[in-house]
Amino acid sequence: MESRKLYAVITGDIVRSTRFTPDQRDGVLSTLKAAFETVKDTLSGALCTPFSIYRGDSFQGVLDRPELALRAVLIIRASLGCGFLAAHRRLRLDARMAVGIGEVDFLPKGSSSEGDGEAFRLSGPALDNMDRMRGGQRLAIRTRWPEVNAEFDAECALLDALISKWSVGQAQVIMAQVRNLTQGAAARELGISQPAVQQRLKHAGGWAVAEFCRRYEEVISRLKG
């Protein structure tokens, strides 16, 4: 692989997956797989390996355009938020996700499960250590640069606070925004009015989500040189 090239390894797992019955788990996995397809369609060409599910409720994917990793995270978490049983707060889906930004030494074609390198070694432990983070945080971004990690820790905490309050409708419009749909196109897709889309985005903190995406992409693009 190209020397010094940066990748994003995204590792995640479904929150409290043991609460679902076997039949419900089928729906959970279908929703997760649909989210992966949305990532693939939206971030065309950015995936080195498709997202794959392992150990029943865990998943991983690799992007060779690490500046797009936050968009992938948002698509997956918003998809879960407006997917299977989302109307039932008790059974609402979410995922913990860790993004590791770094070099990759080995990546088998078509699979990330046996990959190795800096990005993998940053992503996996970050997910494993998430239970120790304050406030039950469900998103972490790790690089080799401590000052970058410190900035992203604060921004991820704020993003988590927003995501935890999204209604199904708000998750839908955030996903449309991350997919770069206009408000008019989102309204047509969701079968609602454009003012309704605008209102949902306002209450979901859509402007803050967009600003974090912009800042994340700016920082990672600078690190890539």
What is the reported pLDDT for 135? 67
Domain borders along the chain are: 7-224
What is the reported pLDDT for 26? 84
- Rounded to the nearest 5 percent, the helix, strand and coil shares of the chain are 55, 15, 30
The CATH number, out of the four listed (3.30.70.1230, 3.40.50.150, 1.10.287.610, 3.40.1160.10), of the domain defined by the range 7-224: 3.30.70.1230
- Cβ–Cβ < 8 Å for 162, 209: yes
Looking up tokens 């065309």 gives 44
Burial class (CB in 10 A: 0-12, 13-18, 19+), 27: middle
- The structure tokens listed for 185 are 């196109």
Q: pLDDT digits over 79-115, tens only? A: 998 876 544 556 678 999 999 999 999 877 766 667 7
Q: pLDDT digits over 115-172, tens only? A: 789 999 999 999 998 877 666 789 999 999 999 999 999 999 999 999 999 999 999 9
Looking up tokens 């995640």 gives 12
Kindly give the interhelix angle for 168-178 and 194-204, rounded to the nearest 10 degrees.
100
Collapsing DSSP states into helix, strand and coil, what is residue 102?
strand
In this predicted structure, the answer to whether residue 2 has a pLDDT above a threshold of 50 is no
What is the reported pLDDT for 87? 46
What sign does the CA torsion over 61, 64, 69, 71 have? negative
Q: Which residues pair with 142 in a beta bridge?
A: 100
Collapsing DSSP states into helix, strand and coil, what is residue 130?
helix
The letter for the amino acid at 101 is I
- The structure tokens listed for 217 are 């992409």
Q: pLDDT digits over 10-63, tens only? A: 999 999 888 888 888 888 888 899 999 999 999 988 998 889 998 888 999 999
- Cβ–Cβ < 8 Å for 101, 143: yes
